[in-house]
Structure formats: structure tokens, C-alpha cells
Amino acid sequence: MTDADLERSLETAEELELITTGRRSGEAHSVRVWFAYADGAIWLRTDRDADWLRNLDRDPRCRIRVDGVERVAHREPVADETAALRHLIDSWRAKYGAEWVADWYVERGRVPVRLVLGPQR
């Protein structure tokens, strides 16, 4: 799969598999999540106590898998969480439809996560 094919998959796939390293076990931890691909980054949203977020807090390196292709990625800090969360939710509404993405996605305690892809493996 070329980078262009991967980009198309990131624009159209409903979910991706996020693989982090367990902060206690050191083992791979996999979860399927909704996401948006915008501005050359993968955007996720979660609650502050999600295992995968706490894993990324400990080690920002991860892998993503979409349409059978796996790529390395890493979490980049978000300077303005409120603005980033609003941007993410707007992207989700465009992708999944406003009827599926309600305002509760931006309530306090929600965290926007920005992943940047690394080189192809």
C-alpha cells in the first residue's frame, strides 16, 4: 500500500486499531477507536482515565492499523485542548454525521489526542 492509499484509507475507514505499550506490563495493548484524519494527523478523543491514553502518557510511541496496514506513530502534545477538541469534533461530524456525534463529546474530562505517523515499516 502506498502512502496515497494509506491516506485514502485514513480518510474513509470508520475505525482504526491503536496499539500502545502497556505502562505496567510492557505488552502490546490494542483497542479499536473512532478517529479523524485532518491536517496530516490522526485525531482521537477519549476520557482522561482510558488505559490507552495512560499508556501514551508513559510512552507516546504507538502503532496504528487500518485496512490491514500497520504504521508507527507517536502522540504529539496539544497546546490548546479546548480548540483541538472542537476541531476534532467538527471533523468527526463531517466524517460520521452530526446525528452520531453529539456535543457531549466535548464535555469536561474529554481529551483530544493527536497522532503523527512515522515512516513506513
The span from the CA of 14 to the CA of 118, in Å, is: 21
Angle at 61 between CA 31 and CA 119, to 5 degrees: 105
Domains and CATH numbers, the chain: 3-120 (2.30.110.10)
pTM recorded for the entire structure: 0.86
Q: Where are the alpha helices (DSSP H) in 2-80?
A: 3-12, 51-58
Q: Which pLDDT score, from 0 to 100, does residue 79 have? A: 93
pLDDT tens for the chain, residues 1 to 121? 677 788 888 988 999 999 999 999 999 999 999 999 988 899 998 988 899 999 999 999 999 999 988 999 999 999 998 899 888 888 888 888 877 776 555 555 688 999 999 875 4
The span from the CA of 117 to the CA of 55, in Å, is: 17
Nearest to 91 by CA among 48, 73, 83: 83
Beta strands in the chain (DSSP E): 15-21, 28-34, 36-38, 41-47, 61-66, 69-76, 110-120
The span from the CA of 58 to the CA of 119, in Å, is: 22
Residue 56: strand, helix, or coil = helix
